[in-house]
Amino acid sequence: MSPAGTPGSDAQTILDRCDELARESSAAHGITRVYLSPEHARVNAIAAGWMEAAGMTTWQDAAGNQRGRYEAETPGAPAVLLGSHLDTVPDAGRYDGVLGVLLAIAVVDRLHRAGTRLPVAVEVAAFGDEEGTRFGTALLGSRALAGTWDDAWWQLVDDQGTTLRDAFTAFGLDPAAVADAAPPRGSLVGYLEAHIEQGPYLEEADRALAVVSSIAGARRFELTVTGVAGHAGGVPFHRRHDALAGASEIVLAVERLARDAGCVATVGRLQAFPGGVNVIPGLVEASVDLRGEHDAERDAVWEAVLAEAAEVAERRGLTVEARETHSAPAVVASPALRDVVREGIAATGDADPMTLFSKAGHDAMAVAELTDWAMLFVRCGAGGISHHPDEIVGLADVAVALDAFEAAVRALAARTAEAA
Ligand code: GLV
Ligand code: MN
Ligand code: MN
């Protein structure tokens, strides 16, 4: 590890810590770390150690998020909340979510080393579930903190048939106490999240940082297409009800309808049953992830998908059912906090920061229900690849992101003091 005390060495520490957390995986190869797993408990403990070394008091909250607080000049003052997530998609990169948590801890570490207390406290939340990998429904950790937990979620099940309720208990949490994850209303002055861009625009523009204008609303569904299994040789085409052939038409319709409407949609998981090479598929289960800058446009795409799926089902003698597993509306960053992030970026020498709209989802979407928010995007290389092991960020970009994030936090603290 580089010597401490310079921005470069802080950035190197952050990258070293990303590597350390990447070792906490349920998979023998690659990184997979899901909500309420043993790996989740381990990264929480590691992050808590780093928070404490940065002068914070720490606790694991009632939803399994790792939290920390660096006290204000006046103890008990409202806090700026910084955060992102420590869970991952299957076979993930090492920076999605993690970089934002570590930048947040590093900002506090700098304040602590400088002996600085701000007019606001600085809290950090390392969210346990943003991706929704384990239970299908995303943002569980940040929605618990936002106080928007839905009791219907207790019955969600993972691939092993474990309910969310049982997973809570196995992790040592009390389902009846989940509301305690939410801070009291009025105790936050805002939420700032740093995150890798997960797209190519910063790299194309040869810039390191951007301020986020808004985040696309996302909906996710589980599609079940039911036909009739049968002999791959014996059943002639005119008598078939092939669930996979029908599902394939629907997959292509999802892509076409979303593209035509300026939205994005992905079928990321598809399974055919019974799965024999010489058996006509009788059942298909598939996921659909659908996003748009405007909720109404995105919802119109879904209605069109359903209509086309019904037509496919009718023509092929299939049934199609859709179950919504996740829904989050599009959110727009608060103008005042956007200005704070712009000020933070400007302090690093970029007088006219780039603004980007995020098609990726973030914990900020959930925290938006609780308080004002804004986000700082950091360039990721290799064309902006993400949700992939090749995810990459540069040392110099992490260094400038840390400077900008610290400057944004200080700017928000100063504005809050001025307004008081
Ligand atoms: C989270 O990364 C999402 O956008 O799905
Ligand atoms: Mn992600
Ligand atoms: Mn993320």
| Same domain assignment for residues 105 and 146 | yes
**Residue 9: its pLDDT value, please?**
58
**Residue 185: its pLDDT value, please?**
85
Place of tokens 């993972």: 158
Residue 7 reports pLDDT greater than 90: no
- Look over the chain and give the mean of its residue pLDDT values, rounded to a whole number: 96
| Residue having the nearest C-alpha atom to atom 5 of ligand 1 | 361
Centre of ligand 1 to C-alpha 129, Å, is 11
- Number of domains observed in the structure of the chain: 2
361 CB within 6 A, ligand 1 = yes
Residues 234-243 have a mean pLDDT of 98
| Same domain assignment for residues 35 and 166 | yes
| Residue having the nearest C-alpha atom to atom 1 of ligand 1 | 361
Q: In angstroms, what CA-CA distances link 237 with 108, 225, 251, 277, 281?
A: 66, 18, 21, 17, 13
Q: Between these two residues, 373 and 6, which has the higher pLDDT value? A: 373
d(C-alpha 212, C-alpha 338), whole Å: 7
| Same domain assignment for residues 269 and 343 | no
Contact yes or no for 17/109 (Cβ under 8 A): no
Residues 170-196 have a mean pLDDT of 97
Does residue 1 sit within a domain?
no
Centre of ligand 2 to C-alpha 414, Å, is 32
Centre of ligand 3 to C-alpha 362, Å, is 6
| Same domain assignment for residues 224 and 192 | no
d(C-alpha 284, C-alpha 239), whole Å: 18
| Same domain assignment for residues 203 and 221 | no
243: left (phi over 0), alpha (psi -120 to 50) or beta: alpha
**Nearest ligand to the C-alpha atom of residue 197:** 3
Q: What is the pLDDT of residues 116-158, one digit of tens each?
A: 999 999 999 999 999 999 999 999 999 999 999 999 999 999 9
**Residue 420: its pLDDT value, please?**
84
**Residue 73: its pLDDT value, please?**
97
| Same domain assignment for residues 115 and 260 | no
302, 328, 354 - which closes a domain: 328
Contact yes or no for 290/327 (Cβ under 8 A): no
| Same domain assignment for residues 320 and 362 | no
| Same domain assignment for residues 157 and 27 | yes
Does residue 226 sit within a domain?
yes
pTM of the model: 0.93
131 CB within 6 A, ligand 1 = yes
Q: What is the pLDDT of residues 56-92, one digit of tens each?
A: 999 999 999 999 999 999 999 999 999 999 999 999 9
309, 328, 347 - which closes a domain: 328
| Same domain assignment for residues 256 and 388 | no
| Same domain assignment for residues 81 and 143 | yes
Centre of ligand 2 to C-alpha 397, Å, is 19
**Nearest ligand to the C-alpha atom of residue 88:** 2
| Same domain assignment for residues 234 and 372 | no
d(C-alpha 279, C-alpha 70), whole Å: 61
The domain that holds 236 is classified in CATH as 3.30.70.360
Q: What is the pLDDT of residues 39-57, one digit of tens each?
A: 999 999 999 999 999 999 9
**Nearest ligand to the C-alpha atom of residue 218:** 1
The dihedral through the CA atoms of 36, 40, 41, 44 has a sign that is negative
| Same domain assignment for residues 279 and 381 | no
Tokens for 107? 């900002």
Q: Which domain holds residue 247?
A: 217-328
The domain that holds 49 is classified in CATH as 3.40.630.10
Residue 4 reports pLDDT greater than 70: no
Does residue 18 sit within a domain?
yes
Does residue 32 sit within a domain?
yes
Residue 1 reports pLDDT greater than 90: no
Does residue 158 sit within a domain?
yes
290, 308, 328 - which closes a domain: 328
360 CB within 6 A, ligand 1 = yes
Residues 320-344 have a mean pLDDT of 97
Tokens for 416? 């809050």
Would you place residue 315 in the very low, low, confident or very high pLDDT band (cuts 50, 70, 90)?
very high
Look at strands 283-292 and 270-273 and give their pairing: antiparallel
Residues 223-240 have a mean pLDDT of 98
Does residue 2 sit within a domain?
no
| Residue having the nearest C-alpha atom to atom 3 of ligand 1 | 361
Does residue 173 sit within a domain?
yes
Does residue 36 sit within a domain?
yes
